[in-house]
Amino acid sequence: MTRRRAAASLLLAILSAPAVAQQDQHAVQAERPTVATHAGTVATGWFEIETGVERDQLDPGLFIGTPTTLKLGIGSHAQLSIWGSVPQPDSSGFGPGDLSVGVKWRLLDDATIVGDFAILPSVKLPTGSVSAGRGTGTTDVSILAISSHDFGGVAMDLNVGYTHRSGNGTQAPVNAMLWTASFGGPAVKSLGWVAELYGYPSTTGPAGQASIVAFLAGPTYTAWKWLALDAGLIVPVTGPQPHALYAGAVWNVGKVW
């Protein structure tokens, strides 16, 4: 078998392999509110929307963003994701930000060490205005490794990511990394909780900055199996991370094909 045919066979196996446990297809696969994502994917043919608002207290001024993710299951172990936002920097009105597209590939289910393991390659396009502060003007290529575990109902999601950007580093660092450790679980009835520690190692170049470590925490509420709500706060541990408040919702719209 040639390498090309072998790769095609592996891709087909990933797309068509059955999940270890039967997934409730109409239950939300909430990735918000944390910086981390999990290895789970929306069921094949099903469509989900995550959206919210975040208010960052910058020095000086404010930054308000409306991060939104559109998710479509394109296989039993694959999900198409489109990210965008309509941010409002303190100096300008609302407008479109940069747009990202990626595919989450769940490669392993319930593996001994990495648990549910997925990779998420993505591309960010320079669709936001640089002059208005709503974009970086760069094309970014990113890869995220995701390891998810369940410990008696408490979920743990570990992420490590790398981004390479076009340009000369004036608007944004050419190379950047990310790590996260997120935990969440049930509290009382439909109420839950989430807590996360995340960081961005220091970057170089004209737009480089010191390393960031921050803590995020807040409640979650499952209104129905297809609708979940969240709110919380982000506080800096070290580095130039602003204090922030967020709130949002995840809606599993239903099957579209």
| Number of domains, the chain | 1
∠ Cα 106 257 220 (to 5°): 55
DSSP state of 112: T
Please compute the mean of the pLDDT values over residues 60-71 and round it to a whole number. 87
Cα-to-chain-centroid distance, residue 4: 31
0.85 exceeded by the pTM?
A: yes
Cα atoms found within 13 Å of the Cα of residue 229, Cβ hemisphere only: 7
Q: How many CB atoms lie within 10 A of CB 93?
A: 9
Which of 201, 157, 177 lies closest to 32 in space, CA to CA?
157
Q: Is 43 helix (H, G, I), strand (E, B) or coil?
A: coil
Structural domain harbouring 193:
3-255
Give me the pLDDT at residue 39, please.
Answer: 96
Please compute the mean of the pLDDT values over residues 58-67 and round it to a whole number. 80
∠ Cα 100 210 232 (to 5°): 60
Please compute the mean of the pLDDT values over residues 132-138 and round it to a whole number. 88
Would you say residue 88 has pLDDT above 80? no
Please compute the mean of the pLDDT values over residues 88-95 and round it to a whole number. 68
Give me the pLDDT at residue 33, please.
Answer: 63
Q: How many CB atoms lie within 10 A of CB 37?
A: 23
Q: How many CB atoms lie within 10 A of CB 6?
A: 10
Looking up residue 160, the CATH number of its domain turns out to be 2.40.160.40
